[in-house]
Amino acid sequence: MRNPYLSKEMKSIIPFFIVFSLLLVVNLSYARKDMGDYWKNMMNGQPMPEAIKDLLVQDPQVSDARKDHFVRDFDIRPNIILYHKHVVSKRQKQKQKAIVKKLEPDFQGTERHG
């Protein structure tokens, strides 16, 4: 059965959309975010040995969530950068005004608008 509302391009995009949506959901669902906490709970508060810690793969998303991302030693002095492109001398202003006057005809009202 053909759907008259879906074009060929739309039919080819739909499976990709579904697959990428599933990948996004799977990426967000972790069973455990920190193996160290799991180890402490299962081993009655004993810390995880270094040999086992070295075998675990650290997820950068988990470690980034615990970091403080605020920069506390920022510079409070004002940082002023001047670009002198906007500065025009009086002579250049006079030249520009003369050119504009030459290019623009004197405005005289039209017949319709007075």
pLDDT tens, residue by residue, 61-75: 555 556 666 777 777
> Structure pTM?
0.25
> Do 34 and 62 touch, CB atoms closer than 8 A?
yes
Q: What is the largest CA-CA distance in the chain?
A: 97
**Please, how many CA atoms are within 13 Å of residue 3, restricted to the half-sphere of its CB?**
6
Q: What is the pLDDT of residues 73-110, one digit of tens each?
A: 777 777 777 666 666 778 888 888 888 888 776 655 55
